């Protein structure tokens, strides 16, 4: 995975849990609470940005396609579109490609995801190919609270973790998953199966 960085990762929380975190996450990590519109769809989330570039997204459950307990991992190319497309060409038969639009229905990025996923996946891994103007904006975001993410410990349903094991594009299992960040730093995600609780802890610098 040397050609790719961890663009961002997310988990989905139940509505009440999500609401309870809005103020604490803002105070501790500078999280931004916003509703994102993408074409005719949208979602509500808390966004914790880092100076390094990677961000953590906490999503509010939104039936039917955003369900509590889901995990998302987005990868993007360190060098831009050419390297990303070259790698994706090797996976072409397994990929679905779709355009993600912004709130004005302009192209935001192209998303490439495995085409053998369930209709509503519990774990979702995809590659992002940003439009040039959004790529510049994306990696120029700064935080006054977080320099970089060091580790995330996620408690998720066992079914989510089992589904995640099917992604050969990820680092080797068993967890922790280790990723490279945009400025040469490393980051790991520790996954713990949980029957009753969906929760997280993050370690930052």
6-37 pLDDT, tens digit each: 889 999 999 999 999 999 999 999 999 999 88
Residue (of 144, 12, 17) closest to 69 by Cα position: 12
Q: Binning pLDDT at 50, 70 and 90, where does residue 1 land?
A: very low
- Look at residue 60 in the predicted model and tell me its pLDDT: 97
Burial 55-82 (b: 16+ CB within 10 A, else e): bbbbbbbbeeebbbbbbbbbbbbbeebe
Q: Which residue has the tokens 């930052």?
A: 204
Residue 82 pLDDT grade (very low, low, confident, very high; cuts 50, 70, 90):
low
What average pLDDT does this structure show over 96-111?
84
Structure confidence at residue 139 (pLDDT): 67
| Residue 78's pLDDT band (cuts 50, 70, 90) | low
Question: Does 112 score more than 90 pLDDT?
Answer: no
Q: What percent of the chain has pLDDT over 90?
A: 40
Highest mean pLDDT among 23-27, 78-82, 179-183: 23-27
Mean pLDDT of 58-63: 92
Query: For position 79, what pLDDT does the model report?
Result: 58
Q: Determine the pLDDT at residue 91.
A: 74
Angle at 115 between CA 172 and CA 59, to 5 degrees: 75
In DSSP terms, which residues pair with 188 in a beta bridge? 151, 178
Q: What H or E segment, with its residue span, contains residue 87?
A: helix 81-89
């Amino acid at each position: 995975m040397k050609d790719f960085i961890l663009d961002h990762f997310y988990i989905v929380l139940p509505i009440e849990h999500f609401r309870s975190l809005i103020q604490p996450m803002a105070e501790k990590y500078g999280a931004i609470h916003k509703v994102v519109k993408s074409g005719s769809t949208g979602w509500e989330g808390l966004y914790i940005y880092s100076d390094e570039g990677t961000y953590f997204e906490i999503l509010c459950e939104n039936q039917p396609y955003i369900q509590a307990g889901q995990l998302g991992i987005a990868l993007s190319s360190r060098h831009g579109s050419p390297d990303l497309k070259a790698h994706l060409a090797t996976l072409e038969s397994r990929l679905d490609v779709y355009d993600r639009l912004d709130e004005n229905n302009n192209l935001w990025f192209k998303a490439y995801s495995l085409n053998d996923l369930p209709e509503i996946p519990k774990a979702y891994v995809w590659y992002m190919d940003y439009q040039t103007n959004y790529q510049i904006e994306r990696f120029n975001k700064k935080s006054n609270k977080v320099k970089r993410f060091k580790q995330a410990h996620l408690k998720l349903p066992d079914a989510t973790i089992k589904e995640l094991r099917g992604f050969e594009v990820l680092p080797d299992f068993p967890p922790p998953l280790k990723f490279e960040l945009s400025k040469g730093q490393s980051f790991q995600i520790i996954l713990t199966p949980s029957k009753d609780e969906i929760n997280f802890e993050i370690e930052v610098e």
